[in-house]
Amino acid sequence: MKQEIAPTADIADAYEKASCPKEVAMIDRFAALLLPVLAFASTVVPSSAQAPSPEPRFPSRTELIREIDVNETALHAAMSAHAANVAQARIYCNLGALYADAALYLKSEDAMIHAVALLHDGPGDRLADATSSLAMLHNLMGDSGRAEKEELQAIHIRETLGDPVGLALARSDLAGVYLKQGKFKKAVGPAQQAVDTLAASSAKGPVQLISAQQRLALALCGIHQCDQAVNVFRNAADLSTASYGPDSLMAGITTYFLGYFYWKDGNLDAAAEAMRRGTNRMRLDMGWGHSIYVDAMAHYAQFLRERGMTDAASAAEREVRKATDVVDVRALAARSE
């Protein structure tokens, strides 16, 4: 039983595919109009040398607001001191990520446009990162045509730099744009190239490979090869658990997405268990209203309703409404008009 696929969130950049500085990262959301929302992440150091890899974490809403205040103050100080363009661009990138994670998309766009402009005569790798992040933001805001042009610019910069790993990341992001456009067949090529390069490289952390694997799985499911998508993403889920531990947030997120692919492949029992476990783990860190969790619960509610579990679906929908009440989506609505 094959089902139609809809773009889901890209775990992706949720953790460490930092747009400009390494302190911030971009992720893709799910639903019809969405691709990435940016998330601020800080590293949690394991208590033992034998522990899994350090896992970045998502901030609470209070922490997010505090980080915005800190970076706005830093930007004013940098501008007053006539700091170097690269230094100002770094702060603008931070703010672009933080604003987007708070659903302040117009402010995020303004910050990222400033960052790209400041980096035009700066380091090529930073310009490519900022351009790619702006592309992902425009993809989220519904302007996938503009996003595609920007991502192709980032790819050109990476090719000029001779940076195979950076090029793989840009290709993965381009696949994300094609997914948003519904061009699933076109997304397979760059996603597969990204997976092949990142799997053979140790230059980036596991999240980069997991992200590319997710995009490849989405593309395959979009061309009605959901059985292959499940195989691809099962590898991603195993890598997540091995890298961060079975009780980590990252393992919870990938478990949820594996359930999503089971659902689209028609394996409803496996989907139910994986989505239940995944959303339960995500709730611990993201239940305050993070966009990844809200979108996951919305899809989970749809799944439950399709299975005739109306009480459970209604409870999930109430949780979505409660979380959505604390998120300011007015900026996105204004941008879409």
* pLDDT over threshold 50, residue 51: no
Q: Which residue has the higher pLDDT, 308 or 40?
A: 308
Of the candidates 168, 161, 176, 173, which has an alpha carbon nearest to the alpha carbon of residue 193? 168
What is residue 195's predicted lDDT score, i.e. its pLDDT?
A: 96
Cα distances (angstroms) measured from residue 22 to each of 18, 163, 196: 5, 18, 24
What is residue 53's predicted lDDT score, i.e. its pLDDT?
A: 56
* pLDDT over threshold 60, residue 239: yes
What is residue 204's predicted lDDT score, i.e. its pLDDT?
A: 74
How many percent of the chain have pLDDT more than 70? 79
DSSP tally for the chain: helices H, then strands E:
14, 4
- Burial track 229-238 (b if 16+ CB lie within 10 A, e otherwise): bbebbbebbe
Q: How confident is the model at residue 192 (pLDDT cuts 50, 70, 90)?
A: very high
What is residue 42's predicted lDDT score, i.e. its pLDDT?
A: 31
Q: How confident is the model at residue 33 (pLDDT cuts 50, 70, 90)?
A: very low
pTM for the structure as a whole: 0.78
Per-residue model confidence as pLDDT tens digits over 168-190 = 999 999 999 999 999 999 999 99
Task: Dig out the tokens for 111 from the structure.
Answer: 């910050």
3-class SS at 265?
Answer: helix
Pairing relation of β-strands 36-40 and 24-28?
Answer: antiparallel
What is residue 55's predicted lDDT score, i.e. its pLDDT?
A: 63
What is residue 14's predicted lDDT score, i.e. its pLDDT?
A: 37
What is residue 54's predicted lDDT score, i.e. its pLDDT?
A: 60
As a whole number of angstroms, the distance between CA 219 and CA 193 comes to 13
Instruction: Please check whether residue 116 is in contact with residue 82, taking contact to mean a CB–CB distance below 8 angstroms.
Output: no
What is residue 23's predicted lDDT score, i.e. its pLDDT?
A: 31
What is residue 286's predicted lDDT score, i.e. its pLDDT?
A: 86
Per-residue model confidence as pLDDT tens digits over 113-159 = 999 999 998 999 999 999 999 999 999 888 999 999 999 999 999 99
Q: Which residue has the higher pLDDT, 31 or 148?
A: 148
Q: Which residue has the higher pLDDT, 222 or 16?
A: 222
Per-residue model confidence as pLDDT tens digits over 304-315 = 999 999 999 999
Task: Dig out the tokens for 50 from the structure.
Answer: 């034998």
* pLDDT over threshold 90, residue 302: yes
As a whole number of angstroms, the distance between CA 293 and CA 30 comes to 10
What is the arithmetic mean of pLDDT over 29-52?
32
Per-residue model confidence as pLDDT tens digits over 53-106 = 566 566 677 888 899 999 999 999 999 999 999 999 999 999 998 998 777 889
> What average pLDDT does the chain have?
81
How many percent of the chain have pLDDT more than 90? 64
Complete domains list, the chain, with CATH: 12-247 (1.25.40.10)
What is residue 159's predicted lDDT score, i.e. its pLDDT?
A: 95
Query: 282: exposed, middle or buried (C-beta count within 10 Å: 0-12, 13-18, 19+)?
Result: buried
What is residue 326's predicted lDDT score, i.e. its pLDDT?
A: 56
